[in-house]
Structure 1
Amino acid sequence: MTESNLFELVKLIKSAAGDPSAMTDAIWEAGYRQPERTAAEAAQITIDTFLYCNFYCLPTGFWPRNYDSVLQNELMKAVGGEDGELLDADAPTIARSIISAGFSKEAANG
């Protein structure tokens, strides 16, 4: 990832004013995605996400409704850290976490 993309991520993160959900939404809307997964990997990440929701007794209204929601959950983990360790981190640290998790900006269609 180039420095300009890192800078863009930092700007998106800062624009969310510390709200991890807003960071995730802004980064997702800007087109950041992980590489496509195989069918088996997609099934496993979906199962893992549902087990996580069940383990933490999340109301079903907060569970992912489609595969994009599952993928957004992966982005949320990169934003906040697996165990929430990045919730108080600075924007460059969060941006590096996102890049380390394999997210990059997709080329625009057309």
Structure 2
Amino acid sequence: MTESNLFELVQLIKSAAGDPSAMTDAIWEAGYRQPERTAEEAAQITIDTFLCCNSFDMPTEFWPRNYDSVLQNELMKAVGGEDGELLGADLKTIASNVINAGFSKEATNG
């Protein structure tokens, strides 16, 4: 983890004013992603996400609509913690958790 990555993430998280959904959106829009997964891993993470949605009786309109939204769910878990334990945590802790979950800034084409 580099200090510049941590600093950038802290700034993105700070700009979301404590809203976990806005934090996730800001980090995603800035280009942070986990490494590519194999087809088997992608299928498993998608199945796990749908099982979680189902087990919490989430209305289907809130379920992921595509693979990117499944991946964004992974980012949301990194922002808030698996069980929400990071909600309200300090910015550096959240940023560190995002990096420790394997998210890094992707190079942009162009």
Same fold (TM over 0.5): yes
Question: In the alignment, which residue of structure 2 is the partner of 1:11?
Answer: 11
Alignment-derived partner of residue 107 in structure 1: 107
**What amino acid is the match of 2:103?**
F
Q: CA deviation at 1:8?
A: 0.3
- Give the fraction of aligned pairs with identical amino acids, expressed as a percent: 85
What does residue 91 of structure 1 align with?
A: 91
User: Cα RMSD (Å) of the superposition?
Assistant: 0.5
Alignment of 1:1-110 (within 5 A): 1-110=1-110
Q: CA deviation at 1:103?
A: 0.1
> TM-score, length-normalised on structure 2?
0.99
Letter matched to residue 101 of structure 1:
A
Which contiguous aligned blocks of 4+ residues in structure 1 show a shift greater than 3 angstroms? none
Aligned equivalents of 1:105 and 1:33: distance in 2?
Answer: 6
**C-alpha distance in 1 between matches for 2:30 and 2:108:** 10
| Corresponding pairs, count | 110
| Structure 1 residue ranges without an equivalent (≥5) | none
